[in-house]
Amino acid sequence: MEQEKKSGAIIYPPENNIYSFTRFTPLSSVKVIILGQDPYHGPNQAHGLCFSVQDPTPPPPSLINIYKELENDIEGFKSPNHGNLTSWAQQGVLLLNTSLTVRKGSPASHSTLGWEIFTDKIITYLGGPNSKPGKVFILWGGHAQKKGKVIDRVNIFPFFFFFFPPNFLFFLSERE
């Protein structure tokens, strides 16, 4: 990544936002984990929270789809006219991507730079055999769904998974 930067490549999110997910959602307060692929790869979008975009950037298509699903499933939910999910993060929703950086205009460009090891450790901490039960895991997209293998299914027993548009895997733990 450093070599890319030296050659003039633009990397998203800006360095000071790469770890925003921990600034807004301390791991000790996580209730829900939403896992995406990698940050948005356009200007003024990525700010370290998956599926979230900075104001005044309008919601991208993937987030619009999420809002539509919420409108269908939650009585009274109205899609906001913005895409900034910081308030979700502040309420215990960890918005994490499998890769924390991306090269401008090139999705999955940093998927093999080691971020997968780092994010596996976070997911294992939150959903491993020694983690506190009762969390919800939502894994959106193929890269995120592959992370399901590091979630301890005994710890989050009973274990449910469903496939919904836009192709996400949902884990639910009812055990307290």
Tokens of 175: 């055990």
5 contacts: CB under 8 Å, gap ≥ 6: 11
**What pLDDT, on the 0 to 100 scale, is given for residue 38?**
92
**What pLDDT, on the 0 to 100 scale, is given for residue 172?**
40
Q: How far apart, in whole angstroms, are the C-alpha atoms of residue 89 and residue 8?
A: 32
Residue holding tokens 């009973």? Answer: 158
DSSP string of 148-159, one letter each residue: GGGS-TTTT-S-
- Give the H/E segment covering residue 95: strand 93-97
**What pLDDT, on the 0 to 100 scale, is given for residue 41?**
93
* Active site (annotated) includes residue 55: no
User: pLDDT tens string for the chain (176 positions)?
Assistant: 788 888 889 999 999 999 999 999 998 899 889 999 999 999 989 999 999 999 999 999 999 998 998 888 888 889 999 999 999 999 999 999 999 999 999 998 999 899 999 999 999 888 877 787 778 888 888 888 888 887 776 555 333 344 343 333 444 433 33
**What pLDDT, on the 0 to 100 scale, is given for residue 156?**
53
Q: Which residue in 38, 55, 73, 152 is the catalytic one?
A: 38
Tokens of 49: 């929270």
